[in-house]
Amino acid sequence: LIRVILSNPSSKDGVIKICARPMLKNKSLLFQIEEYTKTQVFHKNLTAGDAGSYLTGKLSSDTSSQTASFKNALVETQSFTANVLVSKKGTITIKKKMNASAKQPKIFLSHNRKKKYILPENEPIPFLIELGVQAEDGRIRDKKQKKFRQINRFLEFIRDVSDKLPKDKELTIVDFGCGKSYLTFAMYYYLKIMNGYRVRMIGLDLKSDVIQHCNELAKRFDYEELTFLEGDISSFEGVNQVDMVVTLHACDTATDFALDKAIRWGAKVILSVPCCQHEVNAQLKNDRMQPIFKYGIIKERMAALMTDALRANLLEQAGYETQILEFIELEHTPKNLLIRAVKTDKKQGNMDAYKKVCDEFGISTTLARLQEHEGMTV
């Protein structure tokens, strides 16, 4: 056994996820149990027999129990991976996939572990291996350490707002400009495999060879609800309603088109890491600021910050609670800000002040024009 993850609890209160893994402590084989609530993690160590009874007892449809029961289990071993589903009537369905690799994944029994990542370090995950982030034994490749941290950091942002996503229906998620789709596969794995959400996920990109490769990988992993399409953000009309929109490093105004789509769809959650904010930089002009703007790199950075702040204001006006957060450390890339917006339907922000700033600096943004075209008051 490598690990067990129980998800999809009968109650949203109390423990919402349970993880179990083997470990050696004082030369004895035990199983570390981690019980996750919305705000805390509790640990306990059990013997093999007690751990088995504990985990199987949690997979129950018994509504009379005082504690939450779980409807999904992911069981990973050296020879196979199994998904266990428990229906309301107590019927158990097991989907089992044998490990096709000649090398068996290693089991790590250390009690003291490194930083706790959402996707566990040194535990083989098929899509991370195929995308070159992990070696066959689960070790993170030296040149992919930053990518691994980036993926986990992004999943942390999703985890923090996951309670805003409905669990009583299939979620539709669109990843605009998905590229090689590290994050797309990670989101699918985290939401569906690890946490039991029903999802329909679409990755969109302009590169046909990338789209073909990603679709082949999704088919290989049996990710049936993950599809990759070739297309442009501005003209994409593949769905009528979307629950979450993701855009990572969509260049310049492509981010604006993605945000506009998300607003019109009424997406519950928007996660956007903008890139190459040229539009405002080309317009930015103010006589009082000329002593600062005359230095190109300073003007470029101020334009990027102003662009994202203006986008955040427009999202607030559209009924989103919006934050601008540090995505990854600045030392890795200057493109390190993430706009996270959660729909509340309560308009915020002062649009008179927004317009005054735009007038003062000679700014007209694509997102504002798109929203005006849709009848929004901006």
| For residues 225-248, average pLDDT | 89
pLDDT score for 361: 94
Yes or no: say if 302 and 250 are a contact pair by the CB < 8 Å rule.
Answer: no
Burial of 61 (0-12, 13-18, 19+ CB in 10 A): middle
Query: 106-142 pLDDT, tens per residue?
Result: 666 665 555 678 998 878 888 999 999 999 888 899 8
pLDDT at 37 over 70: yes
| For residues 58-65, average pLDDT | 65
pLDDT score for 104: 64
pLDDT at 5 over 70: yes
pLDDT band of 362, cuts 50, 70, 90? very high
Yes or no: say if 228 and 218 are a contact pair by the CB < 8 Å rule.
Answer: yes
| For residues 86-104, average pLDDT | 81
Could you give the maximum distance between any two Cα atoms of the chain, in Å? 75
DSSP 213-275: HHHHHHHHTT-TTEEEEE--TTT--S-S--SEEEEEEEETTHHHHHHHHHHHHT-SEEEEEEE
| For residues 166-180, average pLDDT | 89
Cα angle 210-215-217, degrees, rounded to a multiple of 5: 95
Q: Indicate the range of 16-30, 107-121, 243-257, 287-301 predicted with least confidence.
A: 107-121
Q: Which amino acid is at 310?
A: L
pLDDT at 339 over 80: yes
Query: 277-298 pLDDT, tens per residue?
Result: 889 999 999 999 999 999 999 9
pLDDT score for 330: 44
| For residues 4-14, average pLDDT | 86
Q: Which helix (H) or strand (E) holds 371?
A: helix 366-373
CB atoms within 10 A of CB 319: 16
Q: With pLDDT > 90 as the criterion, what percentage of the chain qualifies?
A: 51
| For residues 16-39, average pLDDT | 87
Query: 182-219 pLDDT, tens per residue?
Result: 999 999 999 998 888 899 999 999 899 999 999 999 99
Yes or no: say if 1 and 75 are a contact pair by the CB < 8 Å rule.
Answer: yes
Measured distance CA(306)–CA(301) in Å, rounded: 9
Q: With pLDDT > 70 as the criterion, what percentage of the chain qualifies?
A: 90
The structure tokens listed for 78 are 């050296």
Burial of 221 (0-12, 13-18, 19+ CB in 10 A): middle
What one-character DSSP code corresponds to residue 86? E
| For residues 295-321, average pLDDT | 93
pLDDT score for 106: 67
- Going by C-alpha positions, the residue among 377, 376, 369, 378 that lies closest to residue 253 is 369
| For residues 1-13, average pLDDT | 87
More confident residue, 375 or 316: 316
CA distances to 9, 205, 211, 281 from 235, in Å: 39, 12, 17, 25
pLDDT score for 364: 93
pLDDT at 12 over 80: no
| For residues 168-174, average pLDDT | 92
pLDDT score for 38: 75
Q: Give the chain's mean pLDDT.
A: 87
pLDDT band of 335, cuts 50, 70, 90? low
Measured distance CA(19)–CA(89) in Å, rounded: 24
Decide: helix, strand or coil at residue 137. Answer: coil
The structure tokens listed for 181 are 């789709």
pLDDT at 165 over 50: yes
pLDDT score for 91: 87
